Amino acid sequence: MKLSDLKPGDKLYTQLGCYVLAVLSRRVDGWCVYVDAVPGEEHSVEWQEVARSGEKQNEKVAEAIVQNLFHPGFEIDLPGEKWAIAVG
């Protein structure tokens, strides 16, 4: 499956551990992945909070998650959302 097969606004989640979820968010300008800890009681509901307030992963980590931890895996055929590095 390709990322471009998803529509902007689509979100998918996968379990990284019993208490950690990753959410793939397809955006108009590409895609990104958020990760966060959850109570581990009902992933089908908990992923929504990860999508709202999870930590956005850097490009390399996001690519690894999307290609290897989502089933059946995704071919990355879209640019990722630009990851800015704050310099201060």
Q: How do residues 28-74 score in pLDDT, each as one tens digit?
A: 989 999 999 999 999 999 999 999 999 999 999 999 999 999 887 78
Position 20 confidence tier, pLDDT thresholds 50, 70, 90: very high
Q: Identify which has the larger pLDDT, 42 or 82.
A: 42
Sign of CA dihedral 79, 85, 86, 88: negative
**CB of 69 within 8 A of CB of 23?**
no
pTM confidence score: 0.86
Q: Where are the domains of the chain?
A: 3-68
pLDDT for the residue numbered 76: 85
**CB of 55 within 8 A of CB of 34?**
yes
